[in-house]
Amino acid sequence: MKDSGYKALKTNIFMWFRIPGLYMPCFARGGGGPELNVEKSIIDGLREQLEAFREGAGPDMGIHLDLNFNCKTEGYLQITRALDDLGLTWFEIDMYDPAGLRHIRNSIRTPVASCESLYGLREFRPFFEHHSMDVAIIDLPWNGAWQSLKIAAMAEAYEINCAPHNFYGHLSTIMSAHLCAALPNFRIMEIDVDDVPWKDDIVTYVPEIEDGYLKLPQGPGWGVELNEDAIAEHPPIGIQNSAAGNR
């Protein structure tokens, strides 16, 4: 990441101290569910993981830790308090309780980002009213461009910056980039650069990143179109097409 010129990196919880793999009990991966309690070994392993990232990426790299829905309020407090001294850019926490998230935010120094799973102004509003997070994450494909702009405008009224939730493909990246370019309260844009080898083939424009900044396309509309022929060459795995129709 450092050699590629990126300004920041984001990671989830990985179990390097056990069998290497993603720890995500909220989605039944890596153990820890359904109770979502946090073992001390998880916290110790996270510290080793993040310290290794800092050593490799250097002091100027922004490091974001995404905790997803993997804890209850108690567990989030254990993790964030234990890692609060690492100088992370943010803890990313998914919760549906704005008061609980505000309690966590009040208990630590590291900024908190949240709300990527919310839809529409009504779901975001109580989080803004509680000042539950430092950065509001908006999923643009889920909310739509028009709704996302309205959410960001509401966030601006509460002095909250926004970042897009963008773990998808190039089309979503360009859509999110257009949103970011239109926001006075923009924080940082997420992008997933590790994917299938044919990812670039299914669009007519591949995002350009230079010195850690994404360059907006100059074409009309989003500036990118889908390549239907390339998409057809990679049908969904596990789905069989039938000439006789759907069953």
CA distance 147 to 164: 13
pLDDT tens digit sequence for 132-148:
999 999 999 999 999 99
CA distance 234 to 197: 11
More reliable by pLDDT, 196 or 102: 102
pLDDT at 147: 97
Residue 91 and residue 46 in contact, taking contact as beta carbons nearer than 8 Å: no
CATH number at 142 reads 3.20.20.120
- When pLDDT is cut at 50, 70 and 90, the band that residue 243 belongs to is very low
Q: Which two tokens stand for residue 190?
A: 């997420």
pLDDT at 18: 67
Q: Which two tokens stand for residue 246?
A: 């759907």
- Does 62 fall in a domain? yes
- Does 49 fall in a domain? yes
- Range with lowest mean pLDDT among 15-19, 55-59, 209-213: 15-19
DSSP annotation of 129 reads: H
Which backbone phi and psi does 54 adopt, to 5 degrees? -65, -40
- Does 211 fall in a domain? no
For the chain, the domain total comes to 1
Q: What is the mean pLDDT of the chain?
A: 92
Residue 204 and residue 224 in contact, taking contact as beta carbons nearer than 8 Å: yes
- Does 236 fall in a domain? no
More reliable by pLDDT, 28 or 92: 92
pLDDT at 240: 55
175: enclosing H helix or E strand = helix 170-181
pLDDT at 247: 40
- Does 231 fall in a domain? no
Q: Which two tokens stand for residue 111?
A: 């900024």
Q: Which amino acid is at 76?
A: Y
- Does 218 fall in a domain? no
Residue 174 and residue 217 in contact, taking contact as beta carbons nearer than 8 Å: yes
Q: Exposed/middle/buried for 194, CB within 10 Å: 0-12, 13-18, 19+?
A: exposed
Strands 112-114 and 135-138: parallel
pLDDT at 194: 83
- Does 3 fall in a domain? no
- Does 168 fall in a domain? yes
- For residue 145, give its domain range: 8-201
CA distance 134 to 80: 15
pLDDT at 48: 94
pLDDT tens digit sequence for 37-49:
999 999 999 999 9
Dihedral of alpha carbons 109, 212, 116, 221, sign: positive
> Average pLDDT in the 97-118 region?
98
Residue 169 and residue 195 in contact, taking contact as beta carbons nearer than 8 Å: yes
CA distance 151 to 195: 29
